[in-house]
Structure 1
Amino acid sequence: MSFLNSIKQIAKGLQKTIVLPESHDMRTLQAADTILKEGLAKLILIGDPKKIAADAVGLDLSKATIIDPKHFSQMDEYINELYNLRKSKGLTLEQATELLTTKDLFLGVMMVKMGLADGMVAGAANSSANVLRPALQILKTAPGTKIVSAFFIVVVPDCEYGDNGVFLFGDCGLNENPTAEQLAEIAKSSAESFQQLTQHEPRVAMLSYSTHGSAHNPLVDKMQDATKLAKELCPNTLIAGELQLDAAIVPEICSLKAPTCELQGKANVLIFPNLDAGNIGYKLVQRLAKAEAYGPVTQGIAKPVNDLSRGCSADDIVGTVAITALQTQHVK
């Protein structure tokens, strides 16, 4: 069974409620039709029911809950809650009212905060900043987490490396030039995410252009420090570094370059030194190896909110909803 089909099977059993605030986007409506037909999750769509019905001709959204902000019975309660959450930051009651009655992303996140929905997926028609801003302001980071980051699950066909071709690449979507401390936190979150989504043991490689001191440079020092800190954060997780990519995933190369490395060239979680490397890396594998790339998936928020690429397809939204449903299992 493929990675995505495995995720879908688990999502079907969970029957979590995911809010999709971008009902004005046709891809969202097409994805909602598929999600409901396959029984992957319960859905809340935010928008005008008449407009949604007109746009969704030929689609079956009868099982979705459609909430019109203009006629939402709990709006006053939500406004007061948002005001109380943000008044110390200078938010007024009038501003809270405007945000929730005119900004569907804020309303969607508040639905997650208030427990009406278990998670939110958006970004087909909004920037990452606009999607994540309300999530960070309202939901904040998860307990024990210091940084929000993003990863891709990359599935390489006919691949003997990683976890039968399955890898987690992080951070490929948010943090431009993380410090050693931040990289350690990203490694911790990424190991947890890999375990959650694959049910397999994470094996984490902290990547560099150097392997175990083969080069000397502040860039190498950062990854060495990050490795040490990550091991302290996750004493029960297999983490090694700094490692070149080939030493991280090819056992024969690892035995030559780093014979004492406990990973033994079997990494399935790859932590990149910065966003340039991570983004370029996943796109290279996606295009040249014809790999499937699922993400960016956000980790570290108190409840799951995932940001789509604005170039996403309806199928991408379906997959992200299934992944988001799985992430809800581990909300503390």
Structure 2
Amino acid sequence: MSRELDVVVVGSLNVDLTAGVRRHPQPGETVQATALTTSAGGKGANQAVAAARLGARTALVGRVGADAHGEDLLAALRADGVETAHALRDESAATGTALITVAATGENSIVVAAAANARLSPRDIASARSLIASARVVSVVLEVPVETVCAAARAAREAGARLSLNLSPVVDLPGDVLAAADPLIVNEHEAREVLRIHGSQVPEGEVAYAEALRQVGARSAVVTLGARGAVVAEPGHTEHVPGIPADAVDTTGAGDAFAATVAWRIGRGDSLPEAARWATRVGARSVQHPGAQPSYPELDQLTGTTERRHAGSPSASSS
């Protein structure tokens, strides 16, 4: 089957309201913000933009409200070359919103109001079936209903597309959905939660986390470790991919950039460890700049080349 798209992302779109603070407040405490910004966000939109800026032919399946924020989010996606025919406007809900505080250390705290994201349904996935069938990789993220995540994963499997599942936040998924994940991407805290949900003893060490995630059903697993890189576990092979030193300004959206890069690279034919190496580079660059989508690089900013976006064979390496 011809694959016209590199990555189809199924997930959320949010407007991000970000306050810079010297430190995060304690319960009941008020702190003064040093800055306040409004920008495009949401795990689904973040991944779509990150992949598109790297050169992936990308589409997004999601929902926004019929309001100014929704129109701004869709316009931002189109400006980055993301196909938005299945990013629907919902007349009955507001656009999703994330309230973010970023401390001077770069660490963030996020509260999300799902709004229109909560109305993305399995029926929307059925309507996007031909789009999903045109993709090399389908990247599914949370912040949308579990039944929709399951429908998207099953649609990807039936279409023969590779499924990248970023299980953040963690929910309990049916066994067939977890078994389709290739890879399952979680951070170390989420890995422990997934293992607890599945009644598996939590082992010692992040390398063992990745291996244990395969034992509970995932075809392959990536456990992200922030500045320490990531651990990749595949059948017969486990590897630690070192992190890249970076002076973190804002970690918001870095995990989304990592997952998007993995989806892009495996769609181009890279091995999972090689895709994770690319992803650590993108993640390290992302945290050095404020915001989520505003921090995502284009390919020439990583390689020092002027390679044209969307050019070349899908299996060719740009390294």
Q: TM-score, normalised by structure 1?
A: 0.34
Which structure carries more helix by proportion?
1
Which structure carries more strand by proportion?
2
Per chain length, whose mean CA-contact separation is higher, i.e. which structure has more relative contact order (CA < 8 Å, sep 6+)?
1
Question: Over alpha carbons, which structure has the higher Rg?
Answer: 1
Q: TM-score, normalised by structure 2?
A: 0.35
